[in-house]
Structure 1
Amino acid sequence: MKRIAGAALVLAGLTSLSGCSWLWGDKGYFRDRGNDYLDARMLPPMQVPEGTESKPLDPLLPVPGHVADISGNREAVVQRPHAVNQAMLEGDFSIQRSSEQSWILAQRIPAQMWNMTQAYFEELGYTVDEERPHVGEFTTAWLPAASIAEGTRETLGLGKSHDSRFRVRIEPGVQRNTSEIFVDAASRKGSRESGWSAGKSAPEAGLALAGLERFYNQAGSQGQSYSLLASKNYDAPRRVALIEAGEGGLQVLRLDAGLEQAWSGVGRALSAAGIYVDDVDRSQAVYFVDLGRKAEQKAPGFFKRMFSSKKSLERKASDQQYRVKLTQISRQVFVGVEREPGQLADVATTNRILNAIRPHLN
């Protein structure tokens, strides 16, 4: 009891001290010192008596030697801005030059330039032979001199007896959201083949670069968008063909794309066609689809899940389950439909599924 009374007495005493100005007030010992600098006076540095050794004492809050004086009426000198590159004001694409090297500076990210650049060379008659998107580079196949159109020959300044091919490299620019496009050219005559070169040693590379810049600007002025992400067609194969693969009219889809690109594109096409995907097996490149169910089914709400049994919410699989299988052969991917592993589906069902997803692959 005495301990409780003593603690209460101490607590009451501390509470009574909270109103004492000599302890907590502006002049108290525990006062707030946050605004003391407003009343501070400038004093000379502390002098140490002669003959006394001590470490040098630097001021804790030194006053800068040059403090801006706003009391005067002097005119301020405004620095002139840096010169603006006039070529950058003409459009989103411009040719840049440094010594003997030239490239296109695009105000686009590399992913947006990939398909547009390939489209330019395909219009000239070239086909993409090898592409490496992870390093931003693709190479066209050799275009024989006899197959070169006269318009392409004049545009690129090609000889009448030389085969030609191009290599394009798309790199991220120095500035954010920009790209730099470089073009190299190679030619051959008979068994003599030249290496990759650009600049004065390969005028066709410079002409291709100039034509590519005009193609970019023309596409931009016509409002064409080649954004791979915005258009949601970044995984679309270059060519899609429905071909017969057996007797009785059985068909398969042939995609000119790699397996990774084709896998993504087929999955997107199945969703767009309204075909329900029940499961996937990425290692076997198989989509398990159920034609008896709709692709878009809303999840049950909170109250429905609470007052309904789990069995009533689960739907039994229908008898219309099939396997959409992708098979890679060389640089192409073939899409077929199976009823069971190794057992092809009937012709009507196969054609129904493939014709449904084909428009969404282009």
Structure 2
Amino acid sequence: MLPLVAAVSLALGGCSYLTGKDGYFRDKSEDYAAEQTYGRLTLPEGLNPREMPEYLRVPEQAETSGKIVGEVPRPDQRIMRTADEGYSVQRSGDQRWLLAEKSPEKIWPQLVRFWDVSNIPLSASDAKQGVMETQWIVMRDETSKDLVRRLFGRVVGMDSTEPQEDRFRLTVQQGVRAGTSEIKLEHVSRALGSEEKAVWRDGESGTNTSLEAGLLNEMLVFLVQNADDQSVSLVAQTLSIGDLSALIYDGNGNPVLKISQPFARSWQAVSVALSEAKIQVVDQNRSAGVFYIELGDEKTDKDDKKGFFSGLFGSSADDREQAPKTAYRVRVSPLGEEVQVTLEKDINTLPPVDVSEKVLQSIKSHLS
């Protein structure tokens, strides 16, 4: 019995030593109550203290001239309709655009229907170029019940100093990722009856960004609500990057793949094309615009009947392991609003023309 009591006492004593008031793992949650308060730290004369900014400053309440009338435009939003189909309003500075997880040929008919439902006639609709423009219309109509005019009244107001008419331009282009679309909206206005022509900004932010942002968000909701529309524009299929590319030749007869898209889109498209063409990429340097690839030699020991193209890329894992590899570089060079894609062995050496042609043609055929 005595040994048991001694063991229990020892165990309890050990717990007190670890977690008790003076223990090593004592409870420190109430220590703040015993802390002393000291005066503000003062600096010696001759030293100027640095003013501490108020990072969590509460803004002052803005005074309003009157009661807000009407609805508030929707905030920028993102809606995932399914795991693979989402819509979002993207923003960079004052610029906004609608990103849809649908290809241009699928989104185009829905956008045409959006203007039709809004009772806004189109003056131009070029699916091949991805541009649609509305006619000049009077938007400040308080009796109208269509979506766009109601939004216009909420954002711009109906108390313009003079009658005006407005016009919209919508640009649809292939997104950076395959199977996506970027939709940009532009708005211009002029005095009613004026003969002034519309001057589009070509991507620059406009004077009424609130209107454009509100309309993009309303357009997003419309696309989600009508996402089951399965109609496809066959003409708009040409908006893919593959149809905006061409294999040309420079002054020395060397093949060049020209892509009429900015560098960011072209780089992503070429990256996807290399993967789909099963061209082995061993490294890449986006800043330098270079993909480092490896290609099999023209002939293999296992099968002399294989063509040149299959020799380049290999038709099986065993062939690729046994065939010797040659290092090449796929260079993506920006040139204004387009890029040029070339193949080289190193910075000073170009491969044979037939090798460049087949590699670049393979990339072109897999651009999407």
Shorter-chain TM range is: 0.3 to 0.5
Q: Which has the larger radius of gyration?
A: 1
**TM-score, length of structure 2 as denominator length:** 0.42
Which structure's relative contact order is higher, taking Cα pairs within 8 Å and 6+ residues apart? Answer: 2
TM-score by length of 1: 0.42
